Structure 1
Amino acid sequence: MTAHTAPRTAADLDANDPLAGFVSRFIQSDQVVAYLDGNSLGRPLKTTVDRLGGFVTHDWGSRLIRSWDEQWMELPLTLGDRIGRITLGAAAGQTVVGDSTTVLLYKLIRAAVDARPGRTEIVIDRDNFPTDRFILEGVAAERGLTLRWIDTDPQGGVTAELVADAVGMNTALVVLSQVAYRSGFVADVPAITAVAHAAGALMLWDVCHSAGSVPTSLDAWGVDIAVGCSYKYLNGGPGAPAFAYVASKLQSSLNQPIWGWMGAADVFAMADGFVAAEGMRRFLSGTPPVLGMVPMEDMLDLIEEAGLDAIRSKSLALTTFVIEWTDAHLAQFGVTVGSPRRGERRGSHVTLLHPRFREVTRLLWERDVIPDFRFPTGLRIGLSPLSTTFAEVELGLTLVRDILDQLSD
């Protein structure tokens, strides 16, 4: 067996972690030994308990419907601007919060392909998240378009070269994820966006697995459209609304298909016909999910305090620790790393591969260690930097080793 360098100890890494103090701000549970799924659902913050209580008793309970005029009507836009500034590298007036990721993807994909009349193809990779692929299949059927699929290494991701081979004069839109949900591969957003633009296509990025953990510069990179969720690294809670980014230069030319009163130019005119609002409000439809937006404010405060570059540094340290620990302690059981080993190409999760990981995941959950399983053989270790310690990661990985050892007897 090939010798590997022993990983740095979890205790040393925690002792020297400049962000270690942030962990105590999150609600901890005596029903969890190690939470390794923060890239699917982030832990709640302690301050969110008070914020939600204040919302119920004051904003909702005392101000009642007056809160619409006082703050709620503009909240999708003001909160969107905060998300854009703190996590996306987006100037004000380009990000809005509302609907689910699925609905926002549908709205913006429909708007984008309709803005490229005469072009008949949409490009996406086969390993993209099912929602993205399913929405595109539906839109293609609805609009009589063709999907052009990119095949990728499932342990890697989409490159500019692969996109260049797929796009052409018929390409209306390219839809890709900045961080691959399975492998954690970080795409070269500016290079790929430039390839799409050279072909005359629009570019939509899914930033669900990057917003809040990977520094992103949508404005500087020339991105057209982006959609992301808020319950992963933005800790908005289960079912928290998604957000959409549309570059200023495109907003007036994109007509989303779900017309509702909140997207109208005059919300309270009760007009006979629909006239879209200017700016990002035009991408709203129904009444925004105000309650679901409340917890995000606390996590945005925390991200801004810590700094996204520092968060990224800890993310890389955590994922490197997982890979080193796997090489030293799990490789002997046949476990391999299904994520990029180069830090700059890796997001904030690591996927480990073994044919028995579906069974292992079930046994881990029974013992209060919570990763998630990704078909067919992947154990995904999701690491939310501000709420995760190295010791917690080591506890989880040690149990993976012990279970594999038992199963091999």
Structure 2
Amino acid sequence: MLRLSIARGPAFTKLPRSRRTVTALAVTVMVVAGSAIAAGPALAQDSGQAPTAAQLAAIRKLAAAAQAELAAGARRLDAAQARQRQLAAQAAAATAQARRAEQRLAALQEQIAGFAGSMYEHPTSDVVTEVIAGGDLQRALQATTLLTIASGSHLAVLREASATRTELAQAQLRAAQAAAAAAAVQASIQRQVAALRDAAAKAAQRLEAAQKAYAAEQARIAAARAAAARAAAEKAARERAAREAALRDAIVAPPPCDVQGPYPPGPWGGYANGLIPASALCPIIGGGLLRPDAAVAFNRMTQAYRQAFGTYLCVNASYRPYADQVRLFRIQPSLSAVPGTSNHGWGEAVDLGCGVQNYGSPQFRWMVAHAGEFGWVHPAWANHSPFEPWHWEFGYISDGDTGT
């Protein structure tokens, strides 16, 4: 599983801790998804095969599902955190209200204590006794009036104290409820973070499994293609060996050919390059077709070559139809002439093997020494741009645009 170290910049550290956790999880899964997708072209490049649409679609679907799952979880966490902040604010307000109620209650309790002390020092029975004993009625009346006022004030204080006690109890209850709700939300957030961690781990595992499966499939395809290429190469080698053996064991009579010449270099007979009918060409020993005069000269040259090496020249290419020129140019543009310009398309060039293709070999040196006797040449461009020791042309040295 791939991991990523997230930079703890100012913008990141300002996020709530749970939100930072979700962000880190989301980035981790996105990195794993990116590696799985990016691995497709890389593996394809190594194996020579582009990824299939189904493989890429499956990997992208896994990555999108994981990202959507984490995004939904992040939204739920945002809502839970907002609710937690609201409950915390409510708890703080209720606590402050309870603190103010306690302060008011303490002040009222001091007043009540003062009233109790005053009643103890100046009991109301003295006033009543003075009235009954025929004392100063005016002073008794004033004292009674003051007592009535004081009693009413005492009663108001007592009522306020009772109401304050009730308010304090309610505020404390609200604070406790808000704190409990905030704790519940915090527990919910922790559960959601744990669930997101689990979802991220499972998504990463799914993506890693998809990547491994893709790599295994690409390796299988590459191995199958390599095996097919080896089999094709072995088959071609066997066929070439069989052809060479047949040439060594048999003296082939030159095929009949009606030479109408003379033929000018390049275009001839009114035909277009690569569109010359087979009836206008002549077969050569070793297989293939050439312009009639080039075919006769080649057959004489390959017979002389057989006297020196015991086998005929191996022909890998001769006249090349236009469709084959297009196909070859698409496969090997750096080693192929532009379709419609190749001397192979005029039936005036051959590509040889069986040692001639190796620069400096005895077979190559023989061609350099004797091909001109039969009107065949190795063009100068084929020695460097591009380097093609196997390419030989009939009658003249061409420029670099009409070679392979």
- Normalised by the length of structure 1, the TM-score is 0.18
- Normalised by the length of structure 2, the TM-score is 0.18
Structure richer in strand, relative to its length = 1
Which of 1 and 2 has greater Rg? 2
Structure richer in helix, relative to its length = 2
